[in-house]
Structure 1
Amino acid sequence: MTTIDEDHTRPEGVDDLTVEALGNISEALEAIEIARGHLYTFHRLSGTADFTLGKGVDQLREAGHTELADRFERELVGRNVLEGRWTFQIMEEYDDGYYATFKELDRLAREQLVAGKRHLYEAELKEARRTAGRGGHEAAPDAED
């Protein structure tokens, strides 16, 4: 079997189940990366909403709706989105806790089991599905096979 490159070649003695397990952990980490992106989207949209709300409240006040503007200002502008937290605090807690732990354990598992190599499952899947010698199916960018 041709391989993509040494970085994506299974170390001697590593069994299929270990490669599959690491593939599933990698897939889970990809989902966590997407979830983290959505949290950052939530962070950005919440901040944008707060500033846009502030503009609307100022306009209510200018239009003479002082009592309603004051209520918005007191109860909503600059309010915590969760108890005691603005979104940046949520992001920091997530990044420093769950996300950092996930990244560290993924790295640790790869180091202990496959010499730190990444995407072995995917590399082997690519090799099994590509047509060797066919344009667009090369093992790697400069491979001749």
Structure 2
Amino acid sequence: MNAQARPLDPRHRRPEGVSDTTVEALGALSKALETAERARGALYDFHQLTGSADLCLDDAVRLLREAGHGPQAEQVEREILGRNVIPGHWTFQIVEEYNATYYDVFRAIERQIRQELAEGRDHLYEAEMKEARRTEGHPAHTVD
């Protein structure tokens, strides 16, 4: 990224004295956090899909019983319904632990470093890329 390319939006303007390498490092840190955000979303998908599957078992158990398959209904009820997905944990507990031990820490450190190195300004790398790639005067290439 060129230190001379300055986005016009003050929220994304590089603070005085911030080097290209610092902007690039903050961009990499931001990208890593965004990737963790996606992983967190997948974890919520896992949580909701597993919960939905567990709730569907109620119908399976009921229908197995109605069809005269009591032992199989009992097996599903005893062995799968409400089962921990890993020892001692339902999916909500995995989500909580991920948030508390990884995501919240990652997010706080990213924010702290951005504050220390760039006055808290976010997406400097991308903003400078936008400025470098836009066509002056084109209505679809506006600064804001």
Q: TM-score range by the shorter chain?
A: over 0.9
Q: What letter is aligned with 2:106?
A: F
Who is 1:91 aligned against?
Answer: 95
Correspondence for 1:22 among 9, 26, 36: 26
CA contact (8 A) 2:8 2:143 kept: yes
Superposed counterparts of 1:1-145, under 5 Å: 1=5, 3-140=7-144
| Separation in structure 2 between the aligned mates of residue 112 and residue 59 of structure 1, nearest angstrom | 61
So what's the TM-score if we normalise by structure 1? 0.93
So what's the TM-score if we normalise by structure 2? 0.94
Q: CA RMSD in A?
A: 0.9
| Separation in structure 1 between the aligned mates of residue 78 and residue 70 of structure 2, nearest angstrom | 12
What is the CA deviation profile of residues 74-130 of structure 1, one whole-angstrom value per residue up to 9, with x for unaligned ones?
110000011100010011111111000110010011010000000000000000000
CA contact (8 A) 1:4 1:123 kept: no
Residue 2 of structure 1 deviates from its aligned partner by: 5.4
Would you say how many aligned residue pairs link Structure 1 and Structure 2? 140
| Separation in structure 1 between the aligned mates of residue 34 and residue 6 of structure 2, nearest angstrom | 27
Q: Structure 2: any 5+ residue segments left out of the alignment? A: none
CA contact (8 A) 2:114 2:121 kept: yes
Q: Percent identity?
A: 54
Residue 12 of structure 1 deviates from its aligned partner by: 0.5
What is the CA deviation profile of residues 13-62 of structure 1, one whole-angstrom value per residue up to 9, with x for unaligned ones?
00000000000110111111111111101111001000101210111011
